[in-house]
Chain A
Amino acid sequence: MFAERGSWVIFASIFVALFIVAIPVPVSWRGFVPDWSLLVLFYWVLALPGRVGVLLACVVGVLTDLLDGSPVGATAVGSVLAVLVILVSYQRIRQFDGLKQSLVMGLLISLVHLIEQRLETFLGWQHVGTDFLLPAATSLLFWVPVRNCLRSLRRYYEVQ
């Protein structure tokens, strides 16, 4: 996976996404920040299912957890499951138009957050209300721009 052509594009895009997640935002906006790292991960899985899979999903999940200080592994479990869903049905998801794809991504991201919330609650964290699902709604809006941007990157650097 590391030696193949253009692997660095995949890793670089994920690191950039993690940096964007860490950019400070006003407290009242925090709930709305999209999950950039998950969107980027989902794009690469959808585009190159033979190459990017559950292991990278696990790594991205663990890095996200390390960054935001949540229990390490809570996001990773969800992202592995979500990526499994994409791996099983990527041919179908690719046929969808932008709107349908966005909805699928929104659903997958809310799945990740639901699992994360459950696991964190086991460990004594407390979530108030259903606000933890808000990022799924905002991520959904950003799926098409992220996809188009990464697609042109992929074509430019001929990552296959």
Chain B
Amino acid sequence: MLILECPYCGVKAEESELAAGGEAHLKRFGAGSTDEDFEGYLFARKNPKGVHFERWRHAYGCGKWFLAARCTATLEVFGTYPAQTAEPPADLVAKIKQKRPEWEGYK
């Protein structure tokens, strides 16, 4: 069972209260971009065994989107943070680095 703490309302929400939204921090490529960039934006997703940044929505609670960093292999949750950010907060990245020294880092 996956438990993520919603950064907006502080509820430690069990997975069934949430809706998954796929990979976080996608860079949008729209009109005027190259075909490769647009294709990558639409279809190419990371699928790591290990640290992954994801979008989640507190669907049955406050309804807000937030982001979470977790390990896809162990389900360990490193942290959650509000969605109004273009990249993971530095303290969270440092925390993950400490726990997973072999992790290649964000991006």
Partners in one complex: no
List residues of B whose CB falls within 8 A of some A CB.
Answer: none
